Amino acid sequence: MFLNEFHKIVTEQQSNPEFTTEVAAATAGMSRMHLNRKLRALTGQSTHEYILGKRLEIARELLPGPLPIESIVTLVGFKSSSHFGKVFRQRFGITPSAFRMKTSLPREPPGPRSEGK
- Domains of the chain (ranges; CATH) run 2-103 (1.10.10.60)
Average pLDDT for 13-21: 94
pLDDT at 11 over 50: yes
Apex 26 CA angle, 4 and 5, nearest 5: 10
pLDDT of 117: 47
Contacts of residue 64, defined as CB under 8 A and 6 or more positions apart, other chains included, come to 100, 103, 104, 105
40-95, pLDDT tens digit by residue?
A: 999 999 999 999 999 999 999 999 999 999 999 999 999 999 999 999 999 999 99
pLDDT, one tens digit per residue, over 93-108 is: 999 999 999 998 665 5
User: Alpha-carbon dihedral of residues 90, 101, 76, 85, nearest 10 degrees?
Assistant: 40
Of 111, 105, 14, the closest CA to residue 66 belongs to: 105
Q: What pLDDT is attached to residue 104?
A: 80
